[in-house]
Chain A
Amino acid sequence: MQMNRREFLTSAALAPLVTLPFVGSAHAAARWDRTVILVELSGGNDGLNTVVPYTDSGYYSLRPNIAVAKETVLQLDERLGLAKELEPIMPLWNQGNLAVALGVGYPEPNLSHFRGIEIWDTATDSSDFAQSGWIGQLYEGVEAPPAEFAADGMVFGRGVFGPLKAPGRRVMVLQNIGQLDAAALLPSIAPAPGMEGGMAVDPNPLAHVLGVQQDFKSGAAAILAKGVENVDAKASFPEGNFGLQMEMAAKMIAGGVQVPVIKVTLGGFDTHAAQLDEHPLLHAELAAGLRGFSDSMKAHGMWDDVLVMTYAEFGRRPKENGSGGTDHGTSAPHFLMGGRVKGGLYGEQPPLDALVNRDNLQHRLHFRSLYATVAQEWWGMDASFLNAAPLGAIA
């Protein structure tokens, strides 16, 4: 039997890495016709100034200089409201397509950017380690996307694989669609025997180079075959890299490119100082990009086929610091949106009068519940390895 590079790695090389208990299942095939857009809010979004507890006097006393004014919030209910710069996504809330998961975090939170995002990316407990990201684990342990797909996942912007990191996975990193033209110039070089590399984390650099080269050629061919460069997104996107990433995601999906996951990133959320200068701009950019994407999907009749989910390494400290900013914190709210999303609030807002772990917010919802929602409710896969209940947020 001839194995391709990916099969070879998943069957043989990976076995020792997998520590999580997977249950081999007789599940129906996953819904690979559905795509997830993962939106990383890099730097750690300040949740309290995003979903604002506008009736809580504790909020205003913790933040005398940087609180969001009560009269400006866009009300979600009688206690919580979105910062006004998020206005472009309010229609999604009103249509019942925006779920807001409150108090998302995990026990024994780590306040490092880098260890924090590693915990989120690999879905481990705070003190455990895993080589592969949670999507990679899902592919390895439950079901992998069909081989004819353009890629196992795409990463737009800076090429950090995060949840998609896993040996042997075909991950397309793209800055813009024009880059795909370069594929025609690249020769195919078959890796030497014994050097069948996997591109995502292959430790052998030559095997890695050759694997990337091969995956780029095949991925680019699959994408270009759909004429993606000529797809009209039928929506407008904000200036800047995030808008570009969301527009590319829209074009890929509207063009019919087969890919289960697209990861995009908006950075700059590490607002230690002068937060009022930066954070509202980030919200505006985020909301305009998300709105452009939903407009595009609706215009193409594909809003029911996509699920958008935000995540970040942590939230921020409830009490402002002396520089008009906020230091690293723990839990935060996150968004899920899409045509099949059952809008509303999930989890509960952590109380400001019961801070824990040195003045930080309690978490009320494990982040793995969000992942279980994606795996089980969205893709119809066995998500038992995540050991968390899905939200019940997908119709």
Chain B
Amino acid sequence: MAIPTTDEIRHLAARTGLGTPTQSEMNGLAGLTYDQAMDRLLGGFTGKAVMAPPDWMSVPPARRTANMTQAEKQAIQRQQGANSRDLKGWWYSEMLNTTSTFTESMTLFWHNHFTSSLKKVKTPNLLFEQNATLRTHALGNFADMLRAMTFDPAMMKYLDTVNSKAGAPNENFARELMELFTLGEGQGYTEDDIREAARAFTGWGYTADRELILRPQSHDNDTKSFFGRSGNFDGNDIIDILLEQPRVAVHITEKLWRHFVSATPNSAEISRLATLFRDSAYELKPLMRAMLTSDTFRDPANKGTLVKSPTELVAGTLRLVGFIPPDPTGLLAQGRNLGQDLFDPPNVKGWPGGVNWINTAALPARYEWLRSISDAIDQVTAPVRGGVNPVAQMSRASRRIFGEGLKADEAAAFFGMPPALMAELMLPIPRAASPGTTGAKNAVGALLLDPVFQLK
């Protein structure tokens, strides 16, 4: 079997990872056939984070109660604010340190599908647990993930399942379940289906230990009619009936296609892949393998046709140059400035993504951040005085800028590359700007500030 060109492997690694592969990731895939590289990437999935949970996860989250003083309530709010920042920083750390960027890329995808927001959920513990659940299923089984998310405490709070009572159900979850999570807007369900499903989801809640409970007195135990069937359905039954609809596989496949392959879905391909997805009982690995080995994905013209998300830009760039800030909370403001505040999507549909990431507010903010990296590189790679080990020198200089954050082996591998190879590693297609016009003082910076670096 033919060994693919480095270009093809780079495309695969960039799209499955965080937008830009690192030199060591590329080395790890060197000499493999395309299928072997695919195996390696899928095989790297563990479903677990490499970073330890934040300390506060070992303590039950404080709950506001009616008899608390104002000061006590404010203290809880302050703690939640601090833990929220910590939570966002934790995920950046995970992305910067993981051995499987595919896992993080998939988890980011699902975070933008099964959305929940700190602004409404408020308790960071619940969002941490949701993130862990998404990571567990990220390349596992979609049906399992859908069931887990339906009864995930953060989701139940975000879309008001916990508040939904028999007699006057809350429709929030039932609507988005069909519109966003399974079928797609206007795809074969009716307003009556939403109302009936909402009845089935009444009475569910969770305990202080985040155990799922069904409160009999709040649950609607009468007959519901859903998708032409009748019965005393509960939430599990609704999910089962939805998973029988062929449209679910089409909706999920198309969304994955837009994220990983192309902003323009190819209907014949979507149909082929959705059938495969359904036939495999919603297993994600066979679907992703088929999608990423498709002719459309591998078409050379498909390189550089997607826009990196803010998170991919920030995490992928730092991994590339080997600068891993030990305190990642500084990155949160970056994500927010660039338009993606993790754990706080703009609404239940998530970030629109694609070319929508780039507008006159976000693009200058992207360049500004990349320029700061370019300036840091100037300092870190300043000429070495005689006899000093370049990596040692870089470590010293980077410590001033990034604390203890230099990944020496990664940085050495990267900065030791000939400039021509650097361009091939960093950019999906040839550069659009001549280096002198970017304002960067070094060769890496000129590539970071090239418009093509925004693409994957």
Which residue numbers of A lie inside 8 Å of B, CB to CB? 42-43, 110-115, 155, 158-160, 171-175, 179, 182-183, 185-189, 192, 199, 201-206, 208-210, 212-213, 215-216, 219-220, 267, 270, 272-274, 319-325, 327-328, 357-358
Contacts and interface: CB of A to CB of B under 8 A. Distances in A.
Contacts of B405: none
Contact of B363 (A209, A270, A328): A209
Contacts of B307: 205, 208-209
A190 to B, nearest CB: 10
A321 B356 contact: no
B325 interface: no
25 contacts: A111-B191, A111-B194, A112-B179, A158-B346, A159-B360, A175-B337, A179-B361, A183-B364, A185-B367, A186-B364, A187-B438, A188-B437, A189-B433, A205-B263, A205-B304, A205-B358, A210-B451, A212-B363, A219-B360, A322-B163, A323-B163, A324-B163, A325-B160, A328-B171, A358-B192
Given A42-B347, A272-B170, 11 more contacts: A159-B356, A179-B364, A183-B364, A187-B437, A206-B304, A209-B454, A273-B172, A322-B164, A323-B168, A323-B170, A358-B195
Interface string B379-400: 0000000000000000000000
A111 B189 CA distance: 12
Interface of B: 159-160, 163-172, 175, 179, 185-186, 191-192, 194-195, 263-264, 304-307, 337, 339, 346-349, 352, 354-356, 358-365, 367-368, 371, 429, 432-433, 437-439, 451-452, 454-455
Contacts of B367: 182, 185-186
B358 A208 contact: yes
A350 to B, nearest CB: 18
A272 B455 contact: no
Nearest to B190: A358
| Interface class of chain A by DSSP | loop
B432 A327 contact: no
A321 B169 contact: yes
B437 A205 contact: no
B360 A273 contact: no
B172 A327 contact: yes
Nearest to A204: B305
**3 tightest A-B CB contacts, nearest first:** A322-B168, A323-B163, A182-B364
A213 B360 CA distance: 7
Nearest to B451: A209
A172 B185 contact: no
A202 B339 contact: no
A171 B171 contact: no
A173 to B, nearest CB: 4
Contact of B170 (A209, A210, A327): A327
Contact of A113 (B347, B363, B364): B347
A189 B437 contact: yes
A183 B363 CA distance: 10
The interface centre, meaning the residue of A175, A204, A220, A321 with most chain B CB atoms within 10 A of its CB, is A321
B310 to A, nearest CB: 12
B451 A189 contact: yes
B217 to A, nearest CB: 12
B362 A173 contact: yes
Contacts of A210: 432, 451
Nearest to A360: B191
B171 A321 contact: yes
B363 A203 contact: no
Nearest to A220: B360
Nearest to A118: B185
A180 B307 CA distance: 23
B170 A159 contact: no
A265 to B, nearest CB: 10
A325 to B, nearest CB: 7
Nearest to B194: A111
Contacts of B358: 205, 208-209, 212
B167 A322 contact: yes
A201 B264 CA distance: 13
Nearest to B356: A159
A152 to B, nearest CB: 12
Contacts of A175: 337, 361
A203 B163 contact: no
B451 A174 contact: no
A322 B347 contact: no
B170 A325 contact: yes
